[in-house]
């Protein structure tokens, strides 16, 4: 028995020792790690906090997307100052700040086209609020291993390999730099839902104990799963695409075919207007904003549920004939 316990103890110690070797690396850093740490930054004086303008020129100068910062928010200047995807802009700035001169693959100007770090690649210019150029680079194609990319500072012939897929970071296309959000609120804050369509009007509301009830077109307990599918989708709704600009009547939004409104605890109503269908998508817009979006028909159908789908199994009694008590429904402001 003692021998068996001893062997188990030895085994545990061996495993612990291996874990230390793997995670702590007591014998020092690898040569590659040392090389990365010793390498200089490609743009050593770059400070992402002072960047106020980003110009992204697509391959061969076909399109130019301009992003500008105003009041701590990035906007797509080349698209009427529409709010930009803040996360995507942040990722671009981080990527530039992290670039290092670890692995140089060429200093030959004649090979720039091979790595697509010339006009055949994506050109980026980053400037400060005074117009001073902070960074000017060419983001090239991915390496054969696809996990890294080639990059070149515009004032140098040196081409380096840096981690990541630079094409997806820099070359998003002028449409994809826009913020795709339609709504962003907490689904738990929704206290009332109104669905209006050509077929029917549906009203749903949270009662005093937090359960969803249907008030229109009939009084009934609501199917919690079906209702929460609506609130889950609507609370973080993003567009599938941005349509070309035209008159509201051409989108079918001057007189919408349907609408859905989520009222929050603070009484704020978030309304989505739904217009014409074209090529498997509906044109939609927020009631309080001008921007029109495209939403896949499948997603629209998930929002515009029918009362038969939303009806729960247990009907809600309007009152108790003996006690005279009534079901209490929580109002939009959170009160009774």
Query: pLDDT tens across 123-148, in order?
Result: 999 999 999 999 999 999 999 987 99
Query: pLDDT, tens digit, for every residue of 12-64?
Result: 777 776 665 555 555 555 666 666 677 899 999 999 999 999 999 999 999 99
- Residue 3 in tokens: 């021998």
Q: What is the pLDDT of residue 130?
A: 97
Q: What is the 8-class DSSP label of residue 182? A: S
Mean pLDDT of the chain: 88
C-alpha 47/C-alpha 128 separation (Å) is: 10
Residue 325's pLDDT band, with cuts at 50, 70 and 90, is very low
Q: What is the pLDDT of residue 26?
A: 54
Distance of CA 242 to the CA centre of its chain: 15
What is the band of 175 on the pLDDT scale with cuts at 50, 70, 90?
confident
Residue 200 clears pLDDT 90, i.e. is over it: yes
Q: What average pLDDT does the segment 152-156 reach?
A: 98
How far is 66 from 123, CA to CA, in rounded Å? 12
Residue 83 clears pLDDT 60, i.e. is over it: yes
The pTM of this model reads 0.74
Higher pLDDT, 105 or 312: 105
pLDDT at residue 329 tops 50: no
Over the stretch 241-276, which tens digit does the pLDDT of each residue have?
999 989 999 999 999 999 999 999 999 999 999 999
Residue 115 CB contacts under 8 Å (≥ 6 apart), including other chains: 105, 106, 121, 140, 141, 150, 152, 159
CB-based contact 260:274 (threshold 8 Å): yes
Q: In the CATH scheme, what architecture does the domain 38-170 have?
A: Sandwich (2.60)
Residue 91 has pLDDT above 50, yes or no: yes
Q: Can you give the residue ranges of every domain in the chain?
A: 38-170, 187-310
Per the model's pLDDT, the better-predicted residue between 201 and 320 turns out to be: 201
For the stretch 211-237, pLDDT in tens is 999 999 999 999 999 999 999 999 999
Residues 6+ apart with CB under 8 A from 187: 228, 231, 232, 234, 235, 236
- Least confident span in 41-50, 165-174, 228-237, 290-299: 165-174
> What CA–CA distance (Å, rounded) separates 177 from 66?
10
Sorted by sequence, the CB contacts under 8 Å of residue 134 that are 6+ apart come out as 43, 46, 47, 50, 51, 126, 127, 128
Cα 35 to Cα 240: distance, rounded to the nearest angstrom: 43
Q: Given pLDDT bands bounded at 50, 70 and 90, which one contains residue 79?
A: confident
């Amino acid at each position: 028995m003692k021998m068996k316990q001893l062997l188990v103890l030895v085994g545990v110690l061996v495993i612990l020792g291996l874990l230390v070797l793997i995670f702590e690396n007591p014998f020092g850093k690898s040569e590659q790690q040392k090389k990365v740490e010793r390498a200089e930054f490609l743009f050593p004086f770059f400070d992402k906090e002072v960047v106020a303008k980003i110009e992204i020129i697509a391959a061969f100068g076909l399109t130019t997307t301009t992003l500008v910062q105003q009041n701590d928010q990035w906007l797509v200047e080349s698209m009427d100052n529409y709010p930009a995807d803040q996360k995507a802009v942040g990722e671009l700035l981080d990527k530039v700040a992290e670039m290092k001169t670890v692995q140089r693959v060429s200093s030959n100007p004649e090979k720039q086209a091979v790595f697509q770090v010339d006009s055949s690649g994506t050109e980026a210019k980053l400037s400060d609020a005074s117009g001073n150029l902070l960074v000017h680079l060419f983001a090239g194609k991915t390496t054969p291993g696809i996990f890294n990319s080639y990059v070149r500072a515009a004032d140098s012939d040196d081409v380096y390999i840096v981690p990541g897929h630079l094409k997806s970071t820099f070359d998003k296309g002028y449409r994809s730099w826009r913020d795709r959000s339609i709504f962003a609120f907490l689904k738990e804050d929704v206290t009332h839902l109104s669905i209006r369509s050509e077929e029917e009007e549906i009203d749903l509301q949270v009662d005093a104990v937090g359960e969803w009830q249907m008030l229109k077109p009939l009084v009934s307990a609501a199917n919690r799963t079906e209702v929460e599918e609506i609130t889950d989708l609507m609370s973080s709704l993003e567009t599938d695409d941005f349509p070309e600009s035209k008159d509201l009547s051409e989108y079918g939004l001057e007189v919408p075919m349907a609408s859905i409104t989520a009222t929050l605890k603070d009484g704020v109503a978030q309304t989505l207007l739904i217009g014409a269908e074209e090529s498997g998508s509906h044109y939609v817009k927020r009631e309080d904003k001008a921007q029109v979006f495209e939403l896949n028909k499948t997603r629209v159908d998930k929002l515009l549920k029918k009362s038969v789908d939303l009806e729960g199994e247990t009907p809600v009694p309007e009152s108790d004939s003996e006690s005279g008590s009534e079901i209490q429904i929580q109002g939009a402001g959170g009160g009774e």
